Amino acid sequence: MAVVTLPEAHRRTPAGRTRARGAGVPLSGTPGPWNAITDVAGVEVGYRTLIRGHGPLVVGEGPVRTGVTAIFPHGRARANAGAYAGFFNMSGNGEMTGMALVDERGRFDGPITITNTHSCGLTRDVTARWLFENLKPGDKADQPFWMPVAAETYDGSLNDINGHHVKPEDVVAAFDDARSGPIEEGSVGGGTGMRCFEFKGGSGTSSRVVDHAGERFTVGAFVQSNFGRRRLLRVAGVPVGEEIPLVDTSPPPDYGSIIGIVATDAPLMPHHLRRVARRSAYGISACGGIAGNESGDLFLAFSTANSEAVETHEGMITARYLGEGAMSAIYEATIQATEEAILNSIFANETMTGRDGFTSRALPIPETQSIMRKYNRFIEVS
């Protein structure tokens, strides 16, 4: 069998955790240099991870397994900058603030935060205060207030979610941590206490490059994955979830959710971006997700292009955008990047024990590789 050589950033996270490609999973499409949402120029991601305490749950004390993720479309240097955007709600048992504005005006301003269900309002409010405090001359010409984007998934099986352990300083720490380049995955940031297909889940990312009409564009996806039954898990089409025996005899309630963020430097208008956001759902389906009744599956797509047009409030405005002929390639890249981001959130992870001694086990990679070989869907990598 031929050995495929992969860049180090495609094989492992900065902390050395194995990503899906590094484990030999055959995935379609061409990633960017870091195979991350940060391959879209200007996008920066920061984390604040909170892990402390063990044993029985004491509300207000712990154990704590949670955090905050921050995504800046134009980096911290342009923290207040806006972006054209589109939203899709596949299953609405969740929250993503600011979507009325996205629906009405096709844009949002400032960073996106992702955290646990009961800290979503706090991260939203802290973002508004932080943006005001960091306002620079010439920023925010259209309206003197903010409607930040804050999203959530539920981490209560591992975390003292009712203890409200995410504090304002944790949100600011996530902002301060924002960076480009390779980013960590798994149990970090808002994804710290999450589960996916009854394995340890959390934060994951991937990207794809698209060539069209002599230009190259990048599509990047970031997910906070917290959904799915084990038996439904598919890895590159292989029914891995059916092949791995259950360890937990009583599966958790179907309270899981996923937040998906798609970024691109392709010049797209809000109506295009709504369509892109919808395609994230296909990436979930490729992994076996069904958008269960108790699930909140919410997706936001944004473009970093046309920033001057977004920021201009008066007079005639000119914006550049791709023709309809390019959209299918953008859709395909979105689906592929979302699928791989979900798989990375599971592969690049470790077993975690949280409240009341509950343990969420990591996907067993050697066993998964054996299953992939059985179905002739494994590749040797170096």
Annotation says 257 is catalytic: yes
Cβ contacts of residue 312 below 8 Å, gap of 6+?
A: none
Say whether 91 is catalytic. Answer: no
pLDDT at 106: 97
Lookup: tokens for 370: 């054996």
| Amino acid making up residue 145 | F
Phi-psi label, residue 48: left if phi above 0, alpha if psi -120 to 50, beta otherwise: beta
Q: List the Cα angle 87/92/94 in 5-degree steps.
A: 95
Active site includes 295?
Answer: yes
All domains in the chain, ordered by first residue:
3-381 (3.60.70.12)
Q: What is the dihedral of CA 306, 307, 311, 312, to 10 degrees?
A: -40
Annotated catalytic residue within 203, 206, 295, 345:
295
Predicted model pTM:
0.97
Alpha-carbon gap, residue 379 to 314, rounded angstroms:
55
Q: Look at residue 140 in the predicted model and tell me its pLDDT.
A: 78
pLDDT of residue 331: 98
Residue 81 Cα distances to 70, 87, 151, 268, 306, angstroms:
15, 18, 19, 17, 11
pLDDT at residue 144, rounded to an integer: 84
User: Which pLDDT does position 310 carry in this prediction?
Assistant: 92
The residue written with tokens 């005001």 in the block is 132
The residue annotated as part of the active site, out of 91, 119, 207, 257, is 257
- Give the pLDDT confidence score for residue 136 in this predicted structure: 85
At a CB cut-off of 8 Å and minimum separation 6, what does 301 contact? 85, 86, 87, 88, 261, 262, 263, 264, 273, 274, 276, 277, 280, 334
Task: Please state whether beta strands 112-116 and 149-153 pair in parallel, antiparallel, or not at all (unpaired).
Answer: parallel
Catalytic residue among 297, 303, 345, 360: 297
CA distance 157 to 255: 10
- For every one of its 382 residues, what pLDDT tens digit does the chain have, with 9 covering 90 and above? 578 999 999 999 999 999 999 999 999 999 999 999 999 999 999 999 999 999 999 999 999 999 999 999 999 999 999 999 999 999 999 999 999 999 999 999 999 999 999 999 999 999 999 999 998 887 877 888 999 999 999 999 999 999 999 999 999 999 999 999 999 999 999 999 999 999 999 999 999 999 999 999 999 999 999 999 999 999 999 999 999 977 665 555 555 799 999 999 999 999 999 999 999 999 999 999 999 888 999 999 999 999 999 988 889 999 999 999 999 999 999 999 999 999 999 999 999 999 999 999 999 999 999 999 999 999 999 8
